């Protein structure tokens, strides 16, 4: 890579710091297994620990694929085979709430075509899910403990927004997949992650909580306070809203009530780069095989049909398909991107982001903590600089 061009990343992020639109961040870039760029900015350091939110999802995908490779699950299986409360789902439509005609499969969960939603206020399905989240939250406050399977079965009480497979919508599918991993493996999700992923990948700081001895390394969560995007430290109300989405306590040293496969992990720049190194090397990290190369090839292939792709509504996903809890570049002209067809990755609510480009042998992890999410203009500039350096 052209390292001189790559160092324009410093100009990009330092300009954001100067405008106080960024107060902390970290980034690393590797090309053909060589670290070509790494830096941390503002309040963050090389070993800062971040709430990675939805960057937990691809880790859950790999866990599911480990079970798949061992013949313990079939992607065409109904999730009700493992979590029986999903056997008789309801669907919201113009006539009201009716019986679902199709079963939710493991594949539809992996592809976010299950019809399951996150809490919200826009649709009846979102409102119903919000009520269930609040119900769980109140029971936890009263000291109730739940297994992941119990939480998943409670979430099954929410109606689907559409028939499984009908279209794409981002929702709680990955959380249900975490419950699947627990049921099939007979282990807590954290135990399975540790044994099958974190230990072999040397992800020493990745977990559903933060050890008290590491608290000083926890990256600060910020929030935007005006239309110009200026930041200050996130207040208690903001932190409570964020932790509700992950079923995590505000105090990061406490055990979560639910080890969710969708958003609950803490990690570091270095740990996540180890995970990506395994992906770009077709399932192998430092000689240890986590997944077979054919499974990795399957994971990174778009699995949405055109109707499902047309229903993707995220601003940053123009030109992308989706599969296995990952975006997949299918049309870089629509994306207005100098990146590669087949580049894949995902991001996390506070602006965290990663990409894997198998054609170029390129991996990138970017981590920040802003409650309202990324500035997509800055993210696009970051990508443009990195790809221009090849």
Q: In this predicted model, what pLDDT tens digit does every residue of 357-384 receive, in sequence order?
A: 999 999 999 999 999 999 999 999 999 9
Of 191, 194, 207, 211, which Cα lies nearest the Cα of 253?
211
Residue 34 has pLDDT above 90, yes or no: yes
Report whether 196 contacts 59 (CB < 8 A): no
Look at residue 159 and tell me whether its pLDDT is greater than 90. yes
Q: Are 59 and 325 in contact (CB under 8 A)?
A: no
> Over 90: is that where the pLDDT of 22 sits?
yes
Rounded mean pLDDT, 195-221: 98
E strand intervals along the chain? 24-31, 34-42, 49-51, 90-93, 96-99, 222-224, 231-233, 266-268, 284-285, 288-289, 320-323, 326-329, 344-348, 352-357, 362-368
**Residue 89, pLDDT score:** 97
Domain limits, the chain: 3-55+204-388, 68-190
- For residues 90-113, give the mean pLDDT: 95
The pLDDT-based confidence of 94 (bands split at 50, 70, 90) is: confident
Q: How confident is the model at residue 142, as a pLDDT?
A: 83
Pick the CATH number of 68-190 from 1.20.1280.50, 3.40.718.10, 3.40.710.10, 2.60.40.1180: 3.40.710.10
Q: What angle do CA 343, 190, 276 make, to 5 degrees?
A: 20
pLDDT at 95: 81
CB–CB of 236/383 below 8 Å? Answer: no
The residue length of the chain stands at: 390
Entry pTM: 0.97
Tell me the pLDDT band of 146, cut-offs 50, 70 and 90.
confident
Mean pLDDT calculated for residue range 176-180? 96
What is the pLDDT confidence band of residue 62, given thresholds at 50, 70 and 90?
A: very high
**Secondary structure (3-state) at 273:** helix
Is it true that 3-55+204-388 and 68-190 share their CATH fold? yes
Mean pLDDT of 4-15: 98
CATH, domain range 3-55+204-388:
3.40.710.10
Instruction: Taking residues 326-338, report their average pLDDT.
Output: 96
Let me know: does 51 contact 347? Beta carbons within 8 Å: no
9 Cβ contact partners less than 8 Å away, ≥ 6 residues apart: 27, 37, 39, 382, 385, 386
């Amino acid at each position: 890579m052209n390292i001189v061009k790559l160092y324009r990343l410093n100009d990009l992020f330092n300009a954001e710091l100067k405008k106080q639109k960024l107060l902390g961040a970290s980034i690393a870039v590797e090309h053909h297994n060589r670290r070509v760029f790494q830096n941390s900015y503002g309040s963050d350091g090389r070993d800062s620990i971040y709430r990675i939110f939805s960057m937990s999802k691809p880790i859950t995908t790999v866990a599911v694929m480990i079970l798949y490779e061992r013949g313990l699950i079939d992607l065409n299986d109904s999730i009700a085979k493992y979590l029986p409360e999903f056997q008789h789902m309801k669907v919201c439509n113009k006539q009201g709430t009716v019986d679902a005609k199709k079963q939710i499969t493991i594949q539809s969960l992996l592809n976010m075509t299950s019809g399951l939603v996150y809490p919200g206020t826009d649709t009846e399905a979102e409102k119903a899910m919000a009520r269930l989240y609040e119900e769980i939250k109140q029971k936890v406050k009263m000291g109730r403990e739940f297994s992941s399977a119990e939480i998943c079965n409670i979430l099954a009480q929410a109606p689907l927004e559409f028939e499984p497979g009908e279209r794409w919508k981002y929702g709680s599918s990955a959380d249900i997949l975490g419950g699947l991993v627990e049921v099939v493996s007979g282990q807590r999700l954290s135990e399975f992650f540790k044994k099958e992923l974190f230990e072999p990948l040397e992800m020493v700081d990745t977990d559903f909580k933060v050890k008290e001895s590491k608290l000083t390394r926890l990256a600060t969560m910020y929030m935007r306070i005006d239309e110009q995007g200026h930041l200050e430290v996130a207040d208690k109300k903001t932190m409570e809203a964020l932790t509700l989405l992950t079923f995590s306590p505000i105090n990061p040293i406490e055990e979560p009530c639910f080890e969710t496969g969708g958003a609950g992990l803490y990690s570091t720049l270095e740990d996540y780069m180890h995970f990506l190194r395994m992906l770009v090397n077709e399932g192998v990290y430092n000689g240890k095989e986590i997944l077979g190369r054919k499974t990795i090839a399957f994971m990174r292939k778009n699995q949405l049909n055109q109707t499902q792709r047309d229903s993707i509504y995220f601003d940053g996903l123009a030109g992308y398909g989706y599969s296995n809890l990952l975006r997949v570049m299918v049309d870089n002209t629509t994306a207005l991107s100098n990146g590669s067809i087949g580049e894949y990755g995902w991001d996390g609510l506070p602006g965290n982001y990663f990409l894997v480009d198998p054609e170029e042998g390129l991996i990138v992890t970017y981590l920040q903590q802003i409650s309202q999410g990324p500035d997509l203009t800055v993210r696009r500039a970051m990508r443009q600089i990195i790809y221009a350096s090849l």
